[in-house]
C-alpha cells in the first residue's frame, strides 16, 4: 500500500526537494506552506507521516504538532534550524517523534520516516525484528535466532533504541535521550559497558551488528530487514 506523507514547509525549494525524495521512495506526497493549512490537510488527508517545519508563518510547527497530538498519534518528524538546541527540545516536547536539523540530507529524512513507519508497525505487532534478532516489546525479552538473550533492563531498552533506528548513526547523547529520555546520568558512564555486552551477545560469526562510527557514535547495522 502506498504511504502518504504530508510536508508542511514554507520554503518552497526545501518543500519541493523533500517531496521529490519521498516520491522517489514510492510515497504519495502533499505540501502545505503554512501551519494552519497543514493542520487542515492533516485532518483531511490522514497521512501516514508528517514532516513539519518548526518555523512557519501564522501557526508555528510547535502549535501544529500539539494540536495534532491531541487528536492523533500520526508520526511527526520536525525540521529545526541549525544549531538551535532549544528548537530540538521544543520539537520533541510538543510531541514530535523525531527531528532533523537543517541543512539535512533528504535521503536520511526518508530513511528516518521509513524507520518510524516500521516502528509504528512494530507497536501494533508488539515486537521488533532485525535480521535474526527479535524483541518482544511486551515481555521485554530479546531472542537471537529464537534463543533468548540474557540482558539487563537497560540493555533491552538500549537494544530497542538501536532496533528502532537500524543503519542510522546514533551519538551517545541521542542514545541516552532516546532510550532513557535524557534523565539517566549514570547511564552515560555505563553506556560503553552496555554496548560491549550487546556486542558480545549479538555477535554472529563475522557479523558485528553494533559498529562504532569513529567521532560520531554507534550504528546498528542490519542487512536483511525482515519488517
**Among residues 52 and 68, whose Cβ is nearest to Ca ion?**
52
**Among residues 17 and 184, whose Cβ is nearest to Ca ion?**
17
CB 47 within 8 A of CB 74: yes
**Among residues 66 and 71, whose Cβ is nearest to Ca ion?**
66
The site map against Ca ion for 31-60 (x = CB under 5 A) is: ----------------------x-x-----
**Among residues 42 and 195, whose Cβ is nearest to Ca ion?**
42
CB 128 within 8 A of CB 160: yes
Q: Does 87 bind Ca ion (CB under 5 A)?
A: no
Tallying the residues shown for the chain, one arrives at 227
Of 124, 99, 107, the closest CA to residue 178 belongs to 99
Among 6, 10, 29, 187, the residue binding Ca ion under the rule CB under 5 A is 10
Q: What angle do CA 223, 99, 61 make, to 5 degrees?
A: 145
CB 11 within 8 A of CB 33: no
Q: Does 98 bind Ca ion (CB under 5 A)?
A: no
The residues of the shown chain that bind Ca ion, judged by CB under 5 A, are 10, 53, 55
Amino acid at each position: 500500500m502506498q504511504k502518504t506523507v504530508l510536508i508542511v514547509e514554507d520554503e518552497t525549494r526545501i518543500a519541493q526537494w523533500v517531496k521529490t525524495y519521498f516520491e522517489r521512495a514510492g510515497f504519495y506526497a502533499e505540501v502545505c506552506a503554512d501551519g494552519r493549512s497543514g493542520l487542515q490537510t492533516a485532518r483531511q488527508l490522514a497521512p501516514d507521516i508528517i514532516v513539519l517545519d518548526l518555523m512557519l508563518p501564522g501557526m508555528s510547527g510547535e502549535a501544529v504538532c500539539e494540536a495534532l497530538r491531541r487528536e492523533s498519534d500520526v508520526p511527526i518528524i520536525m525540521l529545526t534550524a541549525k544549531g538551535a538546541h532549544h528548537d530540538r527540545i521544543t520539537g520533541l516536547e510538543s510531541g514530535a517523534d523525531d527531528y532533523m536539523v537543517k541543512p539535512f540530507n533528504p535521503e536520511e529524512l526518508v530513511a528516518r520516516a521509513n524507520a518510524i513507519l516500521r516502528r509504528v508497525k512494530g507497536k501494533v505487532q508488539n515486537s521488533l525484528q532485525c535480521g535474526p534478532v527479535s524483541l518482544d516489546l511486551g515481555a521485554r525479552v530479546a531472542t537471537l535466532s529464537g534463543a533468548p538473550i540474557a540482558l539487563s533492563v537497560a540493555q533491552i531498552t538500549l537494544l530497542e533504541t538501536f532496533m528502532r533506528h537500524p543503519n542510522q548513526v546514533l551519538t551517545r547523547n541521542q542514545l541516552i535521550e532516546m532510550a532513557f529520555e535524557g534523565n539517566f546520568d549514570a547511564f552515560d558512564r555505563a553506556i560503553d559497558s552496555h554496548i560491549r555486552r550487546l556486542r558480545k551477545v549479538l555477535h554472529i560469526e563475522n557479523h558485528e551488528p553494533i559498529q562504532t562510527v569513529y567521532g560520531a557514535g554507534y550504528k546498528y547495522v542490519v542487512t536483511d530487514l525482515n519488517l
